[in-house]
Structure 1
Amino acid sequence: MFDKAIQDALIIWATIDPIGTLAIFSALTASMSVTQRRKTATRAVLYAGGVLIGSLVIGQILLTAMGISLLSFQLAGGIILFLFGLQMVFGNTDAEAGKEPDHNVAIFPIAIPATATPGAILAVILLTDNQIYPIAQQFVTGLIVIATLAITWVMMFFSDRILAVIGSGGASLLTKIMGMILAALSVQLVMNAVGAEQWVNLAP
């Protein structure tokens, strides 16, 4: 079980990517006050935690009931992430969000898809497969998800210190760079899904 926990921790850390999430959060909340930024960080982690824990508990059951394969879910998530990446590269996401009075950046794009990424949602579903792993191992995986989100929250909570160093210009540049990285990651997700689907079709 210990080896499984270490493997799960590495996978979950890589898919949630607290450092990458911090970069996106810092760029999108650069114009907020410290109080607003910290409230946004708390809400984003709570929303993302709800999505990931919900996916861990009922994600596989829900997808199976709807007749949706995990590969299809990965493909759809990759496309959504790609569109968000393009928006970060070619548009001012923070300014555009401000034009919508009902828009909450804590939900989109910080909680989803920046923190609860399609890869993270897919990972927690696969790592808690009911047909492979017992309840005890699934519980440990859930604790790892919570711990990773806690680290992400701490990093975002104190992001004002990072913004004090990089400034608004650095935050804008960071947004463009992270947009390109997210777009590349989304393409990789799509390619992985398409490649896996081809192997499934070739299987006897």
Structure 2
Amino acid sequence: MGALLDIIQEQFIIMWVVIDPIGTLPVFVAVTAGMTAARRRKTAVKAILIAFCVLFGFLVVGQIVLEGLGLPLASFQIAGAIVLFMFAMHMIFGPGKPAEDLETEQGPDVAVFPLAMPSIASPGAMLTIVILTDNARFSVPHQTITAVLMAVVLAITLGIMLAAGPIMRVIGDTGAAIISRVMGLILAAVAVDAAIEGMRTIGIIPALAGS
């Protein structure tokens, strides 16, 4: 039971970091400015449903696509770790997730872009889903836990967006930026750990240790 709780805790933290519900909040507030309360709620729900479909799709077929291309997951894990680390560095030192998302031209449906993608279902989140559901390392029950925790974090993200007005009045843009940078630091640590695990799988780390 203790090991299961550790897995749940670790997976929840990783999901929280890569989906970044707090970092999505300022984006939601900006793109729904001027909307009625009913339309704002509809936009939030639609964005979450689209993000869930995208992430769940990567959970189900992500590794199949890699295997079809003949790419070992360890290689993708290292590449994904590099991308995650770069993403984390941008969260820490860059203009921040809200500013980055809002600088991009918005499409006709803000629920799809920039809310569902890339704010909620970010490239980092897609890569992380594939890494956390490696068929060679994780059983079906373990992958089910990952899917459930992903849904839980998305549900929390929906709740935060529905409570956008009061939350932003409390933390402000500065508070959201600070929290996003802390999440970036945690994500950098996750990326380093994923790279080490991938190198250990390939055999690079033992080779270096023995030389």
Q: TM-score, normalised by structure 2?
A: 0.68
How far residue 193 of structure 1 moved from its aligned partner, in angstroms, is 4.5
Paired position in structure 2 for 1:49:
52
Is 1:138 matched up with 2:143?
yes
Alignment identity in percent? 18
Paired position in structure 1 for 2:76:
69
Q: In 2, Cα distance between the equivalents of 1:182 and 1:112?
A: 16
Root-mean-square deviation (CA, aligned residues, Å) is: 3.5
Counterpart code for 1:23: I
Paired position in structure 2 for 1:10:
9
After superposition, give the CA deviation of every residue in 1:29-71 in whole Å (9 maximum; x if it has no partner): 3342444543342233223212321222122222333314212
Is 1:149 matched up with 2:139?
no
Q: In 1, Cα distance between the equivalents of 2:39 and 2:124?
A: 23
Paired position in structure 1 for 2:133:
128
Structure 2: 5+ residue runs without aligned partners? Answer: none
Q: TM-score, normalised by structure 1?
A: 0.69
Q: Are 2:82 and 2:191, in contact at CA under 8 Å, matched by a contact in 1?
A: yes
Is 1:28 matched up with 2:27?
yes
Report how many residues are paired. 192
Paired position in structure 2 for 1:112:
121
How far residue 75 of structure 1 moved from its aligned partner, in angstroms, is 1.5
Q: Decide whether aligned partners of structure 1 residues 36 and 178 sit closer, same or farther in structure 2, where only a CA change above 3 A counts.
A: farther
Q: Decide whether aligned partners of structure 1 residues 151 and 193 sit closer, same or farther in structure 2, where only a CA change above 3 A counts.
A: closer
Q: In 2, Cα distance between the equivalents of 1:23 and 1:44?
A: 15
Q: Are 1:45 and 1:149, in contact at CA under 8 Å, matched by a contact in 2?
A: yes
